[in-house]
C-alpha cells in the first residue's frame, strides 16, 4: 500500500520518526533530490489518521520538487509532518527529537517552518542539526518571509501583465486582492507604488481597514471580490478558491496571487484557459518565500535573495512562452518546465533549461 503511494507520487524516501519519551510521531518525505537537497517545511497538524498524514506529506513533498525546479533553484523537494495539535502537543523535547531524525539524513532533507510550526520550533531543531532554515536571526535567519514573498508576487503580476497587455506597467490597472494578511499587505504597497488601483477584502475587518487607510484601497465584501470588474485578481488568502462556484463570476483577465493551491482541481485551470483568463501558476508566483529561505544555505544575504526573487519575472516569462508554444495553460507549462529540468539534469548534469523553448 505504502509503496503504491510512493510509486504514484514518485517519492524517493520516506522516514517514519517515533520518540516515545517526547511523544513525537512524524513522517519525512523526500520526494526528489535530483537538483539538490530536499528543502521543505515541517507541518504540525492533528491528522485524523496516519494515512491522512502520509498522503499529505507525499503530496506536499512533490509540490516542493516542482516549486524548486520551476523557480530555477538547485534544490529538490521534501516535506515533513508531525502528527499532533500545535496548540497542545508542542515541547522542546519533541522538536529536538525531530531534529535528531533530520540530522540522520545528513542534509538530504532540510527543514523549515510551515503551518503549525514557528521560529522557536526551528530553533529547537537547530540545537540538533544544521539542516534547518527559518531559525532566529542570531543563527543566520532570513527573517519574516512575507515582504520577500510579496515582492515575488509583485514580479509575477508584472510578468502576467506583460503577457496579457504587452507591458508590465501596472499604472491605472485595477487589482482585486482577496485577503490582505502578511503577504498581501506588502503586496498592496508594491502595487500602489506602481500606480495600480486596489480593491480588497478580508474576513478580518482590521486588515481591511489598514489597506483602506494606508493604500487608499476600496473595500468590498468577501463574496463580492469575485464579481468586481478588474484587470487582475490576486488571491492571497486560502486555497481552492478557483472552482465551479467562482469561475463564472470572474471578470479579470489575469489571476495571479500568493495563495497556495488556488485551483480546486486541475480542470479549473483548463477552464480558465478556455475562458481566456491567464492564470499565473501559484507555486511559481509565490516561490519568493522558498527562494529567500534557500539563500540561508549560503549564509543569508538579503540583496542576493531579492535579486533571485526578482527573477520570478523572467521565469514566468519563460513559462508563458512555453504555454503559448504548446497551446497549453501556463500552470501545465510550469509543471512541464519543472519535469524537464529534472530529467535534463539526470541526463546532462546541466541545470539550465536550454533546448526547452
Q: Which is nearer to ligand NAD, 246 or 344 (CB)?
A: 246
79 part of the active site: yes
Q: Which of 25, 79, 90, 173 is catalytic?
A: 79
Distance, CA of 174 to CA of 272 (rounded, Å) = 19
Q: Which is nearer to ligand NAD, 130 or 181 (CB)?
A: 181
Helix (H) or strand (E) holding 37: none
Distance, CA of 132 to CA of 120 (rounded, Å) = 12
In the block, cell 549564509 appears at 299
Would you say 292 and 312 are in contact if contact means Cβ atoms under 8 Å apart? no
Of 244, 246, 249, 255, the C-alpha closest to 277 is 255
In the block, cell 496548540 appears at 87
Would you say 153 and 286 are in contact if contact means Cβ atoms under 8 Å apart? yes
* CB of residue 114 to ligand NAD, shortest distance in Å: 9
Which residues sit at the interface with ligand NAD, rule CB under 6 A?
Answer: 145-146, 149, 178-184, 201-204, 207, 222, 236-238, 258-260, 286, 289
Q: Which is nearer to ligand NAD, 184 or 278 (CB)?
A: 184
Judged by DSSP in three states, 233 sits in strand
Would you say 356 and 315 are in contact if contact means Cβ atoms under 8 Å apart? no
* CB of residue 208 to ligand NAD, shortest distance in Å: 9
Sequence length of the chain is 357
Q: Which is nearer to ligand NAD, 292 or 318 (CB)?
A: 292
Would you say 110 and 296 are in contact if contact means Cβ atoms under 8 Å apart? no
* CB of residue 248 to ligand NAD, shortest distance in Å: 19
Q: Which is nearer to ligand NAD, 164 or 200 (CB)?
A: 200
* CB of residue 9 to ligand NAD, shortest distance in Å: 20
The pair phi, psi for residue 117, each rounded to 5°, is: -125, 155
Q: Which triple of cell numbers denotes residue 90?
A: 508542542
* CB of residue 236 to ligand NAD, shortest distance in Å: 5
* CB of residue 193 to ligand NAD, shortest distance in Å: 19
Distance, CA of 342 to CA of 35 (rounded, Å) = 7
Distance, CA of 108 to CA of 103 (rounded, Å) = 9
In the block, cell 543569508 appears at 300
Q: Which triple of cell numbers denotes residue 6?
A: 510512493
Compute the half-sphere exposure of residue 254: CA atoms within 13 Å on the CB side of its CA.
Answer: 28
Q: Which is nearer to ligand NAD, 24 or 232 (CB)?
A: 232
Find the residue with minimal CB distance to ligand NAD: 181
Dihedral sign computed on CA atoms, order 91, 96, 102, 105: negative
- Beta strand pairing status for 13-19 and 24-32? antiparallel
Q: Which is nearer to ligand NAD, 112 or 125 (CB)?
A: 112
- Please give the angle made by the CA atoms of 6, 10 and 11, to the nearest 5 degrees: 60
Q: How many CB atoms lie within 10 A of CB 128?
A: 18
* CB of residue 39 to ligand NAD, shortest distance in Å: 13
Q: Tell me the catalytic residues.
A: 79
Amino acid at each position: 500500500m505504502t509503496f503504491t503511494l510512493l510509486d504514484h507520487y514518485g517519492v524517493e524516501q520516506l522516514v517514519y520518526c517515533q520518540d516515545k519519551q517526547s511523544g513525537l510521531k512524524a513522517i519525512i518525505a523526500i520526494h526528489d533530490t535530483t537538483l539538490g537537497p530536499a528543502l521543505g517545511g515541517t507541518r504540525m497538524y492533528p491528522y485524523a489518521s496516519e494515512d491522512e498524514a502520509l498522503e499529505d506529506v507525499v503530496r506536499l513533498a512533490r509540490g516542493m520538487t516542482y516549486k524548486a525546479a520551476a523557480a530555477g533553484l538547485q534544490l529538490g523537494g521534501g516535506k515533513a509532518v508531525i502528527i499532533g495539535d500545535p496548540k497542545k502537543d508542542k515541547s522542546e523535547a519533541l522538536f529536538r527529537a525531530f531534529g535528531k531524525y533530520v540530522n540522520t539524513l545528513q542534509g538530504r532533507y532540510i527543514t523549515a517552518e510551515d503551518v503549525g510550526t514557528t521560529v522557536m520550533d526551528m530553533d529547537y531543531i537547530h540545537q540538533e542539526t544544521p539542516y534547518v532554515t527559518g531559525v532566529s536571526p542570531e543563527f543566520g535567519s532570513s527573517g519574516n518571509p512575507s515582504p520577500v514573498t510579496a515582492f515575488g508576487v509583485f514580479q509575477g503580476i508584472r510578468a502576467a501583465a506583460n503577457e496579457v497587455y504587452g507591458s508590465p506597467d501596472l499604472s491605472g490597472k485595477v487589482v482585486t486582492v482577496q485577503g490582505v494578511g502578511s503577504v498581501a499587505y506588502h503586496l498592496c504597497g508594491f502595487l500602489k507604488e506602481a500606480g495600480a488601483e486596489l480593491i480588497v477584502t478580508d474576513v478580518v475587518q482590521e486588515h481591511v481597514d489598514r489597506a483602506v487607510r494606508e493604500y487608499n484601497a476600496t473595500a468590498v465584501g468577501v463574496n463580492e471580490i469575485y464579481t468586481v470588474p478588474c484587470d487582475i485578481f490576486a488571491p492571497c488568502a486560502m486555497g481552492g478558491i478557483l472552482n465551479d462556484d467562482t469561475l463564472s463570476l470572474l471578470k479579470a483577465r489575469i489571476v495571479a496571487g500568493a495563495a497556495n493551491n488556488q485551483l480546486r482541481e486541475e480542470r479549473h485551470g483548463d477552464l480558465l484557459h478556455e475562458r481566456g483568463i491567464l492564470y499565473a501558476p501559484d507555486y511559481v508566483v509565490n516561490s519568493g518565500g522558498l527562494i529567500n529561505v534557500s539563500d540561508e544555505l549560503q549564509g543569508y544575504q538579503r540583496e542576493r535573495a531579492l535579486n533571485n526573487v526578482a527573477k520570478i519575472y523572467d521565469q514566468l516569462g519563460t513559462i508563458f512562452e512555453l504555454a503559448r508554444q504548446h497551446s497549453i495553460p501556463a500552470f501545465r507549462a510550469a509543471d512541464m518546465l519543472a519535469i524537464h529540468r529534472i530529467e535534463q539534469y539526470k541526463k546532462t548534469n546541466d541545470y539550465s533549461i536550454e533546448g526547452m523553448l
